[in-house]
């Protein structure tokens, strides 16, 4: 029964109708709170209105994060035989920004970054090098272990855009403590393997010499928009809200939590 319904829904999708919408959405980089995003919302609003919906754009305060530029610099020394390196990297939504001079610390390889991976490793005040994408769980575990920076190794040549916060939506007073507390970047698999090799060489040739990395990361806070979607006619003239974001907002990593009116 469910399979029949799914098949009917799939068969009803009209690729010729869908494609112009996909082209329209692909025209812009839609960072939240930007004019380009608003233009896309206007297009979406016009399209939904043409389908028989009544839509209203609402503007509300929300705590979000837009990843900016990121850079890694790994020190090299003649004593260890390890060359310096500056692999291509990106940072992630909800990563902390580094200080202007970067977050500088020794690198410690910590496997996949699970709880047991930290059992025999002291990563307090260190930058951890981790296998796998920058998930909220891995980021949270590194924070709990006391790391001040994280370098995540992608499982392939692509570096994925991620959000590293486990908090869904704007944080509240109860959940703000779960926000990431470290600088977070990701590199591709080839760069990650090279970095692990450099750490191994340094450990073998000169135990007293450490491989140090500098993470320079910038993230921005921005307001967020949403759509209040209401169905016309088919609901007997009643205005039934299908989706309406909460208007409560958290302003700034070091700012104050300022409750607002909830629209639910």
Task: Please state, in angstroms and rounded to a whole number, the distance separating the CA atoms of residues 211 and 199.
Answer: 6
User: Is 103 in contact with 215 (CB distance < 8 Å)?
Assistant: yes
Helices (H), the chain: 2-11, 15-26, 35-50, 136-144, 189-205
Mean pLDDT across the chain: 76
| Minimum mean pLDDT range among 97-101, 174-178, 218-222, 247-251 | 247-251
pLDDT digits (tens, 9 = 90+) for 67-125: 888 888 887 544 444 456 788 899 998 898 888 888 888 889 999 999 999 998 999 99
pLDDT digits (tens, 9 = 90+) for 71-84: 888 875 444 444 56
Query: What tokens were used for 103?
Result: 């977050």
Task: Please state, in angstroms and rounded to a whole number, the distance separating the CA atoms of residues 94 and 69.
Answer: 13
Domains of the chain from N-terminus onward: 2-62+225-258 (no CATH), 66-220 (3.50.30.30)
Task: Please state, in angstroms and rounded to a whole number, the distance separating the CA atoms of residues 258 and 264.
Answer: 17
Whole-model pTM: value is 0.70
User: Is 161 in contact with 184 (CB distance < 8 Å)?
Assistant: no
Looking at residues 112-141, what average pLDDT do you find?
A: 94
| Minimum mean pLDDT range among 11-15, 61-65, 187-191, 224-228 | 224-228
């Amino acid at each position: 029964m469910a399979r029949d319904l799914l098949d009917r829904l799939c068969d009803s999708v009209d690729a010729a109708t869908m494609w112009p919408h996909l082209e329209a959405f692909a025209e812009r980089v839609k960072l939240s709170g930007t004019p380009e995003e608003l233009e896309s919302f206007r297009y979406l609003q016009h399209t939904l209105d043409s389908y028989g919906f009544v839509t209203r754009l609402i503007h509300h305060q929300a705590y979000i994060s837009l990843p900016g530029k990121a850079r890694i610099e790994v020190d090299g020394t003649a004593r260890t035989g390890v060359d310096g390196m500056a692999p291509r990297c990106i940072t992630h939504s909800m990563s902390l920004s580094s200080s202007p001079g970067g977050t500088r610390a020794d690198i410690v390889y910590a496997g996949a970054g699970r709880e047991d991976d930290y059992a025999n490793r002291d990563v307090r005040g260190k930058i951890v090098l981790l296998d796998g994408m920058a998930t909220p769980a891995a980021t949270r575990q590194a924070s709990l272990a006391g790391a001040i920076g994280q370098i995540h190794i992608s499982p392939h040549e692509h570096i994925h855009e991620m959000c590293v916060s486990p908090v869904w939506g704007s944080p509240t007073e109860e959940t703000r403590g779960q926000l990431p507390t470290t600088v977070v970047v990701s590199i591709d698999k080839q760069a990650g393997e090279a970095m692990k090799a450099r750490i191994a060489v340094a450990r073998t040739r000169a135990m007293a010499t450490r491989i140090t990395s500098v993470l320079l990361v910038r993230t921005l806070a921005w307001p967020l928009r949403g759509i209040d979607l209401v169905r016309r006619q088919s609901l007997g003239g009643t205005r039934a809200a299908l989706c309406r974001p909460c208007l409560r907002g958290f302003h700034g990593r070091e700012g104050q939590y300022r409750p607002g009116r909830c629209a639910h």
